[in-house]
A and B are shown apart, each in its own frame.
Chain A
Amino acid sequence: RIYPLMRVTLTTSDGASVTVSRQLTKHSGFIEKAITDMAVDDNAVPLSAVAVDVDDATLKLVIEWLTEHRDDALPYPEKTDEERRADDIPAWDQAFVQKWDTKEDQQQTLYAVITAADKLDIKGLLDMTCKTLANKINGKTVEEMREILQLECDFTEEELAEIRKENAWCEN
């Protein structure tokens, strides 16, 4: 049972502390497991601090997303064999990530939030941010993908020829 008014203090990797409602942290598998493992009194306010391996700036973004999604149903729907798609990101989430487009380090911010969602086990945020990355790649040529991701071609001539033969139908 989750008590929505209960609060938990999170300490970040760069030493900051943030106190948030259990209504938000219930969406994080990592934090909920940490609270369970502490076996603290559920009535303790705030609960003992939970250390998260996420920096303060990234955690603020995570909390902003969790605040918007505090009423999302739990557990997060399990993945099925259905074809997955990246064009179904909710409008609020799209606006949330578009705000980073003006930042000089937008790609690093996206990377930080994806890894934070993974570490904190927040499945909805992880899916949404991975879809955002997929949308940045979607429709791009091989050369554009290399530029966005800064990846060198390390194939041998033979491997490259094989890839090109396999991709002849879809290379634009």
Chain B
Amino acid sequence: IAKKRRIDRKCEDYFPILSLPSELIGLVFSFLPIEDRMRLRVNKKLNAIELNSKYFVEKLHIFELSNKGVSHRGFNPRHYKKTSYSSDFMRRIAMNASIGILEIELNSPKEFHYDVYNLIKNFNIGTLKFGCIIRLLLISLKKMHINCLSFSLYIEPMS
């Protein structure tokens, strides 16, 4: 019965978001945290509106985690799954977001990290805080256009 009521309600009362002008849908997007913003791209029109509306994120932290789910500096992330992601999510966010502080912490020299370094230049960033192996950062540093850079240096283990 509960399921039927839910379906009946679904038919009669729902929010017709696509009937709103695109700028109002963009306004709704602007009030969502970034993860909801990404998930709300549930069809072509919303995906296009999301892409065409600029937004500002005060801080974005992207940390590489150990197997125990903590970062090099003990940071406990909001989103943690025992899985690995491609760098596509960063590429998408970089398309239309301005980031106040982008904090990235990478610990090991893998191909993924070269992707990340190359992506950083696509971001509109106020301040970049980078914890990494400095040798890898230098590869893409000259391509970055940022106002301020602070380093968190640590020593690459001897190999």
Contacts and interface: CB of A to CB of B under 8 A. Distances in A.
Interface of A: 81-86, 104-108, 110-111, 114-115, 118, 126-127, 130-131, 133-134, 136-142, 145-155, 159, 162-163, 165-171
A153 B85 CA distance: 23
Contacts of A168: 83, 85-86, 89
Interface in B1-48: 10, 12-21, 24, 27-28, 30-36, 38-44, 46-47
B98 interface: yes
B6 to A, nearest CB: 8
A20 to B, nearest CB: 25
A136 B15 contact: yes
A170 B38 contact: yes
A82 B15 CA distance: 27
B156 interface: no
Contact of A169 (B15, B16, B24, B89): B89
A155 B44 contact: yes
Interface in B41-79: 41-44, 46-47, 55-58, 79
A131 B31 contact: yes
A131 B91 CA distance: 27
Given A148-B15, A149-B42, A82 B33 contact: no
- Pick from B15, B41, B58 the residue with the most CB of A within 10 Å: B15
B115 interface: no
B54 to A, nearest CB: 9
B36 A139 contact: yes
A149 B13 contact: no
Interface residues of B, number: 45
A56 to B, nearest CB: 20
Contact of A166 (B16, B32, B38, B57): B38
Contact of A118 (B13, B24, B91): B24
A81 B98 contact: yes
A142 B47 CA distance: 13
B43 A155 contact: yes
Given A105-B13, A146-B42, A169-B79, A140 B36 contact: yes
Given A141-B39, A149-B15, A166 B28 contact: no
B99 to A, nearest CB: 10
B21 A118 contact: yes
Given A126-B27, A169-B85, A152 B43 contact: yes
Contact of A151 (B31, B42, B79, B83): B42
